[in-house]
Amino acid sequence: MSSIQYLPGKEPDPREHRLIFKNIDRSGWDASIDCYLKDGGYEQLKKAIKLEPSAITNEVKASGLRGRGGAGFPTGVKWGFIPPNNTKPVYLICNCDESEPGTFKDRYIVHQDPHQLIEGMVISAYAVGAHVAYIYMREEFPEAAQIIEKSIADARAKNFIGKDVLGSGFDLEIYVHRGAGAYICGEETGLIESLEGKRPYPRIKPPYFPAALGLYMAPTIVNNVESLCHVKHIMEMGSEEYAKLGSPRNTGTRILCVSGDVKKPGYYEVQVGKITMGELLNDVCGGPLDGRKFKACIPGGSSSKILRCDETFKIGRGDDEKELSFFDIPMDFDTMAACGTMAGSGGVIVLDDSRKMSWVLNNINHFYAHESCGQCTPCREGSMWMRKISDRIVEGKATPEDIKTLEEVAYQIDGRTVCAFGEASSWPVEAMIDKFRDELTSETSEDNEYLSEEAQKQLKYISQ
């Protein structure tokens, strides 16, 4: 990797470990198939296609790879959920909706290294027995759609896709499906409904776990762009070497997308859990802006619970219990969860002491109120009410009672909806009030008028 040259000003930080982003911003690199082939492209597919599909799934399982789309679910385990006696077609879907605010990695992969994704997809499709695969791409990525369409055509011309891939007897078609620009189309069952040509109302799980009942009610594996790219590297390195990267149960590398109030925002690929929040924000990202202090951080996309930069966390149990400061938190799935938040999609949003938390919360509430698909009442009505109440706070019209109402609405959504959007919209509110109650309350006044009687009636209705 050291021999690779990057464009001036785009060199990776020395603390990075680039697998997936190895070719991003590389000097002399382009997205063509010729460039990819010169660099050893599709060699892993040639290797994989000679193996038994189950051997690839076992490698992915042994690598410990966890999905990079948000939930961190082990990829090989998910593949293993396809019913063994299945007689229906199996589908593979690459989730390129990249809709979680704060996340900007998948588009770079498609723009600059599309064949890495295609190679990862063909190997994965072969492993799970899919002969049709889709790339579900958000509407807002028109350039990425053109690039990936051309790349698929070029890969087909070389017989990496199509009938009898590389003479193996394995057939695979990959289609690109453009979304209509809705956040909920990133949720895997909403995505599947959309792909079937319907309104993207998420399906209830159980029973509709895609690996059993997915696209056209057939077994379907939905994986994020970055997750599918990792499959190629697991084949290249072998699961044992791959699993040495990162930390136990949190293996490999992942791309962190840092935005907000730091000197050097951007994307950084690091070994999972091998870098702390402090190292990321202070060393890699250059620290806070001049004259400012870090105040808070939303560590895994807008749905993850906000953390204060001055708080400490007790994690572990018994003899293993320890206290961590915010800056000591290793950036891995399990520690993030133990600290009451989640590593999510890797979108790290940094807020300094110039930020008013009411403004941050209101911004988030507007997003979720706009994006709720409307299928379930707690989410549809609740997200709208959370926005209305945070509007009142930022407009200086709220009473202290409004904060309590806001909190209650959030808890009424949490756990009562068809899909995890309910939690995605309510967790930011719950955490913000938990961590910044005094600041939010200081923006309210007893002199303001509390919600109208009519509004209170409506709220009572959704709280039942």
Ligand X SMILES: Cc1cc2nc3c(=O)[nH]c(=O)nc-3n(C[C@H](O)[C@H](O)[C@H](O)COP(=O)(O)O)c2cc1C
CB atoms under 10 Å from CB of 84, counted, come to 5
Q: CA 295 to CA 310: how far, in whole Å?
A: 7
Given ligand X, ligand SF4, none, residue 216, with its beta carbon under 5 to 8 Å by kind, binds none
Which of 379, 393, 398, 432 is close enough to bind ligand SF4 by CB under 6 A? 379
Cβ pair 49, 166 in contact under 8 A? yes
Instruction: Kindly state whether residue 154 participates in binding ligand X, applying the rule CB under 6 A.
Output: no
Which of 222, 297, 409, 433 is close enough to bind ligand X by CB under 6 A? 222
Which of 67, 69, 72, 202 is close enough to bind ligand SF4 by CB under 6 A? 202
Instruction: Kindly state whether residue 278 participates in binding ligand SF4, applying the rule CB under 6 A.
Output: no
Which of 29, 108, 421, 436 is close enough to bind ligand X by CB under 6 A? 421
Instruction: Kindly state whether residue 387 participates in binding ligand X, applying the rule CB under 6 A.
Output: no
Instruction: Kindly state whether residue 375 participates in binding ligand SF4, applying the rule CB under 6 A.
Output: yes
Q: CA 413 to CA 390: how far, in whole Å?
A: 16
CB atoms under 10 Å from CB of 68, counted, come to 30
Three-state DSSP class for residue 67: coil
Query: ∠ CA 348-9-355 to the nearest 5 degrees?
Result: 30
Which residues ranging from 227 to 256 are in contact with ligand X (CB under 6 A)?
227
Which of 132, 420, 455, 462 is close enough to bind ligand X by CB under 6 A? 420
Q: For residues 302 and 362, which CB has a smaller minimum distance to ligand X in the complex?
A: 302
Determine which helix (DSSP H) or strand (DSSP E) holds 298, and give its type and residue range.
strand 294-298
Q: What is the 8-class DSSP label of residue 183? A: G
Cβ pair 338, 421 in contact under 8 A? no
Instruction: Kindly state whether residue 271 participates in binding ligand SF4, applying the rule CB under 6 A.
Output: no
Determine which helix (DSSP H) or strand (DSSP E) holds 251, and give its type and residue range.
strand 250-251
Paired with 6 in beta bridges are 26
Q: CA 398 to CA 401: how far, in whole Å?
A: 8
Instruction: Kindly state whether residue 194 participates in binding ligand SF4, applying the rule CB under 6 A.
Output: no
Sketch the per residue contact string, 127 through 146, with ligand X: x for CB under 6 A, - otherwise. --------------------
Three-state DSSP class for residue 409: helix
Instruction: Kindly state whether residue 69 participates in binding ligand X, applying the rule CB under 6 A.
Output: yes
Instruction: Kindly state whether residue 200 participates in binding ligand SF4, applying the rule CB under 6 A.
Output: no
Applying CB under 6 A, the residues found at the interface with ligand X are: 67-71, 73, 75, 95, 97-100, 183-184, 186-188, 222-224, 227, 419-421, 424
Applying CB under 6 A, the residues found at the interface with ligand SF4 are: 184, 202, 372-376, 379-380, 417-419, 421-422
